[in-house]
Structure 1
């Protein structure tokens, strides 16, 4: 499939000239690792449901990548085809991405929390040829859901299930690992023939939009790797640094720093497939990771565990925290029991990490700011007319640079980048005199719960189908651990005396809406606050939700 992007020759030339783009692929770094440290552990995975620990060396990982890549070709995957996967933090996802890069295909990671409501749109819009899923994960039958979707979607030719060796048609192992096709193929010649350029799309990742439907963010090897290199340098990371990644690999944070960055460093990635804080302590004690990355709930849980188990967590030298502001008491709690330097970061699916604090910054800097731009990235804050604002004034945040994505899949008109390369983030922010940014709010209608964007318009449109609801608005309520929780403010239709949260939950569950997207609080109002033109004034509802959070109401 031919993929159209918003890439321009001027941007290409500028990025090459600056040294930001080097046209390397993640598989080039894999090849280096196999040549230089073949027996070093590349991936260690922990499966919480079984307690199983799996370890693959760089040589073993590469062997499986080759098998999977050849298997994909035998399934009919062509250059530019989209391969989707809805996988936990298992080695198979890392290997699948590397295999796709080997043969010029595009990986489309999907969050394991998604259900039919979200997946139906994403798989259809991406025209996915293959979907790879676990059999059952966290009590949910992903295989049954995937097979049902396959019957509905004309483009979805194959569904493969990890661990389902009883049905060869759907068996990941039979079709992609144990097929024996690599014995009859010249894999090196095949990979050379299909090698993508640094500007070809290798990742399609859906982000929750403000128009009701997710948008497919397209990234190339150049855009992804152009900030992994500077980030690793800023954090002084080396091959000896082991990374613990409990954040989902299907999220940009997990993908970039749990899947790609360890390979770039020739380091070891330790993956935990379900976040269980007590088990994470055991993993840290056994694997001795020096780096952990995640949103504030992960940091809050580790800081809490450190009160009783600090001696088991002493290897953690760095924690990169992104997705929401870091509460000052959380930094203080961590500092009392851990040697860990907390790095604040801000980014987007469209960019990866754009800003971080520095290693020599004071601890307060991670509480008060979201850092300074990485090399090859720039920020500006403007007024409503687009004029740059002086330091410490709040305005609209814009970003440009090397890691900026190359367009929304099949929606080039939504790219939004101006002639000078600036992308409107939809965030409100201020920049201080030293160039440190502080995200102060969002102009786009998104709530971030535990680092995960909730697509408000989509959920509202679904809830409007409820027979009792006349009008509604969803807003975020501040939460110390998760950043925000979702509140539903509802006006009922005449004849419906009441509505409770359990009914809302059941209604969304029946429509296969992701559980994490369900409102956690409900308040029935006589009317919603509106402007004279009738537009709902959500800022008033946010203020009300914040007051309730402060009062623990």
Structure 2
């Protein structure tokens, strides 16, 4: 079984049921599956073959879902790309990923034209109409016009009776380019088995079913959304309510009007929802579960959110290379705030030392993962693949510990650890203290070079009370942290830099500090 075949199976069972709502318009499972089939055939008629690479340069929309499942049904390999990446970032992925066909928004066609000479491998550009003002763009004047097709015309050219090729479970379905915190991004090759098994296991673990209505507000091009808020609900016969751009006002409206049962977001989203004064517990009363991932959620935020809105947040953990989910707080046992939970079904997590040996309970080491969700490898990077996967275990680069009940706790990224005078300081530990101050909205901690101690702790804080001072916050920290963990400096910012999924970018803060030194 694979994602595309499962969608077809679901469409036969739930033909007239809404698969998703977009801009308050419903599309049934039968309509979605027919569009997917016709788009797959339409791609084939353009000359796209099984194994060819198709890029999705799209935001949250029906185009993404039809493009994804249609390309998979044809046997193509899909490469989702963040549409607000810079031309250099987009160009690198298109070239490195050997992309032949790009599905993109019409408003990005001028960008595709500018990059055209640098993309010799791209043979087709499929344009998706948007409701935004196009500024009088004349597509006939574009030099890429001979390569250009409209999404609707590709669907219209396809046959609803199209039968796709047989797909092997170990064939590459999606290549996800990691955000590239160090050097160039790497393409994690995820197979049909990787994606299907993880979506099914997440659906089983979280008891996602045909009665669930899920807000799809996370970016679809990101693996967290792809598995948890798109594939898992669709394979279970649930209904998505697609949010083109995250907005607290829109999330509260949709949650109330559609009686949403499931919301998945990163901690920053929860912080924005918590700070939104017009949002009420009444708006979220239909929610049976909130899911947090993508980054560690400060315990103070988790407790405050749950108290204000009377909902439970289940924190989990994943990474692109694992399709992505490896852990979740279980629904049938007590949830532990600050924990990423226990290993999901069919997936094994361990905490190991530098030699790959499992460490004692409670001790910090590197989190490693094994299961049917672990990637095939990095595209065209055999050495990096060998460094990441050893004896079938994926080395995550995250420092963690496990308690005596099998619950895991992320301590920090291995590379983000700060060493002060030989002592290990985990940024998350300091951030937890900062978040517990009532006047702190957001916080991030990094290490900066110091001639005497090797590194010192440097904090960045967004405050809600202008009267809060650095001295006051340092004094607060001194009540909760050992002396070597205390901030040497606290900078107050209007906002913290984030990527499109809302994850705070420590590396951006680090580069600012290094430039100033």
**TM-score, normalised with respect to structure 2:** 0.78
> Corresponding residue for 1:523?
none
> Corresponding residue for 2:326?
354
Correspondence 1:419-438 to 2 at 5 A = 420-438=391-409
**8 Å contact kept, 1:296–1:483:** no
> Corresponding residue for 1:106?
77
SS at match of 1:313: coil
Q: Which has the higher contact order (CA 8 A, sep 6+)?
A: 1
Report Cα offsets for 1:473-523 as digits up to 9, x if no partner.
Answer: xx999585997669897xxxxxxxxxxxxxxxxxxxxxxxxxxxxxxxxxx
> Corresponding residue for 1:163?
129
Q: Distance in 2 between matches of 1:36 and 1:195?
A: 22
Residue 272 (str. 1) matches residue 254 (str. 2):
no
> Corresponding residue for 2:346?
376
| Residue 110 of structure 1, CA deviation | 0.6
**8 Å contact kept, 1:101–1:196:** no
**8 Å contact kept, 2:416–2:446:** no
**8 Å contact kept, 1:132–1:162:** yes
Quick check: 410-419 or 56-65, which moved more? 410-419
Q: Distance in 2 between matches of 1:446 and 1:394?
A: 12
> Corresponding residue for 1:41?
18
**8 Å contact kept, 1:87–1:93:** yes
**8 Å contact kept, 1:101–1:195:** no
Unaligned 5+ segments in structure 2 are 131-136, 419-426, 462-485, 494-517
Unaligned 5+ segments in structure 1 are 1-23, 47-52, 137-141, 448-474, 490-527
| Residue 250 of structure 1, CA deviation | 0.4
Q: Distance in 2 between matches of 1:434 and 1:540?
A: 35
Report Cα offsets for 1:447-496 as digits up to 9, x if no partner.
Answer: 9xxxxxxxxxxxxxxxxxxxxxxxxxxx999585997669897xxxxxxx
Report Cα offsets for 1:348-385 as digits up to 9, x if no partner.
Answer: 0011111011124445x1x2211111111112222223
SS at match of 1:312: coil
Residue 540 (str. 1) matches residue 456 (str. 2):
yes
Summarize the Cα distance change of 1:288–1:446 in structure 2 as closer, same or farther, 3 Å threshold. farther
Q: Distance in 1 between matches of 2:220 and 2:4?
A: 18
> Corresponding residue for 2:381?
411
Summarize the Cα distance change of 1:328–1:174 in structure 2 as closer, same or farther, 3 Å threshold. closer
Correspondence 1:331-342 to 2 at 5 A = 331-342=302-313
**8 Å contact kept, 1:381–1:389:** yes
Correspondence 1:250-329 to 2 at 5 A = 250-305=221-276, 308-329=279-300
Correspondence 1:82-101 to 2 at 5 A = 82-101=53-72
Summarize the Cα distance change of 1:332–1:550 in structure 2 as closer, same or farther, 3 Å threshold. farther
Q: Distance in 2 between matches of 1:182 and 1:410?
A: 35
Correspondence 1:117-516 to 2 at 5 A = 117-136=88-107, 142-163=108-129, 167=139, 169=145, 170-178=148-156, 180-182=157-159, 187-188=162-163, 191=164, 194-209=165-180, 211-305=182-276, 308-351=279-322, 352-362=324-334, 365=336, 367-415=337-385, 416=387, 420-444=391-415
| Residue 166 of structure 1, CA deviation | 6.2
Q: Distance in 1 between matches of 2:236 and 2:348?
A: 25
Summarize the Cα distance change of 1:210–1:283 in structure 2 as closer, same or farther, 3 Å threshold. closer
Q: Distance in 2 between matches of 1:412 and 1:376?
A: 26
RMSD: 3.0
SS at match of 1:310: coil
How many residues end up aligned between the 2 structures?
A: 440
Q: Distance in 2 between matches of 1:235 and 1:223?
A: 18
**TM-score, normalised with respect to structure 1:** 0.73
Q: Distance in 2 between matches of 1:210 and 1:163?
A: 33
| Residue 84 of structure 1, CA deviation | 0.4
| Residue 313 of structure 1, CA deviation | 1.8
**8 Å contact kept, 1:382–1:395:** yes
Report Cα offsets for 1:302-330 as digits up to 9, x if no partner.
Answer: 33447643212211111110122222332
> Corresponding residue for 1:32?
9
